[in-house]
Structure 1
Amino acid sequence: MSTPAVPRGSGRDAITRAARESFAERGYHGSSIRDIAARAGLSLSALYHWHSSKQDLLAALIEESTEEYFRRCDEALRDAGDDPADRLAALVRATVEYRISRQVESTIAAAEWRNLEPGNRERLDGMRAAASRLWADLVEDGVARGAFRCEHPGDARRAVVAACNAIAQWYEPGYEPGYEHDRGLAVPDLVDRYTAIALRIVDCS
């Protein structure tokens, strides 16, 4: 039997990185727990010390990345003040930056959500619902205060969120502005662009 490679950092971090790479390259069903352990440079027994199964790994990866998204949103909103437009801009910025910096995790969550087992899906559905509520409360508050004039706040919220989330599917660094989809647009410029789009969608006064 071959000796595992040297662990790539601490055991838990190495497993997380290996699972992320394997799910991104091969998909959930194409990845094996043995392959993930080998990528991490760990034995199977060492992997099982941290995670009981491949399903547990998938759920943990999605949960950890979602928790980071909430942290970023909380930080952005704390610094945004009370103005609805400023708060919407802060949430757009946090989401765009997250989708780019955690592009692989975002893509895995979108593609592999259907492979979550019922217990994990129910728990993580609660986190998804909380994220939707964060956006909904912000848009509804803007409408109530007369800052946003959109006639259908729910549809406006879904359109803004979908646009921001989709960035993870197409953004590629290293392209120059003006090329297809402006895939190499600098992140601050992309934030400005999507903030302007969001404010138009909610019909900000």
Structure 2
Amino acid sequence: MSTAPAERPGPDSPPRGGGRDAITAAARESFAERGYHGTSIRDIARRAGLSLSALYYWHPSKQHLLAALVEEITHDYFRRCDLALRETGDDPADRLCALVRVTVEYRVSRRVESNIANLEWRNLEPENRERLAGLRRAATGLWADIISDGVARGAFHDEHPDEARRAIVAACNAIAQWYEPDGEITLPELADRYAGIALRIVDHRG
């Protein structure tokens, strides 16, 4: 992994306020427009309206920026899932629908970041990929636990729960690539449709 250059400022010369948010926004926009390899660290600094030394104060490399962006949006997803599930009872069908709805809403509200995380995952260096893969496995566990509980309690009758989970997650994740907020389907309608699709996939017999 690349290291910070000598021009990185010390603690006595921090960048102006809002620097981190400006850098994150600039990186998000640049990665979305040009891809990871098509974006330089200078491009990001220029778009953020900051000097290179100010950028390096927060992030020692472009790779560090990519990993930080993927990590932040994944933690945000977990926060939303946790809140949705805490507000839902223990019925497996209700919990699956809650998870589907929050995922659909997340993929729409953080569409750009979702696509970056999906497309640029391969460009994470092994150390970062290994660390962030743990977060992905934890996300898989949320879905797997709910579906397994539904099968165990006789609410879901699908004979292939792992494949059912993959199909539901893949469908929800793909929304970031095609959904248009100004289209004919509102976000609540879309979330409800996908919740219904998920219940059919796991063969829910309410």
User: TM-score when scaled to structure 2?
Assistant: 0.91
The higher-RCO structure (CA 8 Å, 6+ apart) is 2
In 1, the alpha carbon distance for the partners of 2:179 and 2:130 equals 30
Matched, 1:22 2:30: yes
**CA 1:61/1:17 → structure 2, altered by over 3 Å: closer, same or farther?**
same
CA contact (8 A) 1:27 1:112 kept: yes
1:172 Cα offset (Å): 1.4
1:89 Cα offset (Å): 0.6
The match for 2:191 is 191
The match for 2:7 is none
CA contact (8 A) 1:8 1:40 kept: no
Cα deviation 1:13-60 (Å, max 9, x = unaligned): 000000000000000000000010010010000000000100000000
**CA 1:8/1:14 → structure 2, altered by over 3 Å: closer, same or farther?**
farther
In 2, the alpha carbon distance for the partners of 1:77 and 1:111 equals 28
1:9 Cα offset (Å): 7.0
Give the alignment's Cα RMSD to 1 decimal: 1.2
Aligned residues: 191
The match for 2:93 is 85
CA contact (8 A) 1:150 1:202 kept: yes
In 2, the alpha carbon distance for the partners of 1:173 and 1:85 equals 27
1:137 Cα offset (Å): 0.7
Unpaired segments of 5 or more residues in structure 2? 1-14
Amino acid of the structure 2 residue aligned with 1:161 = V
After the TM superposition, which segments of 4 or more aligned residues of structure 1 sit over 6 Å from their partners?
none
Matched, 1:166 2:166: no
CA contact (8 A) 1:8 1:41 kept: no
The match for 1:59 is 67
More helix by share: 1
In 1, the alpha carbon distance for the partners of 2:68 and 2:131 equals 11
Unpaired segments of 5 or more residues in structure 1? 1-6, 178-184
Q: Determine which of 33, 38, 46 is the counterpart of 2:41.
A: 33
Identical positions, percent:
75
Q: Determine which of 115, 120, 124 is the counterpart of 1:112.
A: 120
User: TM-score when scaled to structure 1?
Assistant: 0.91
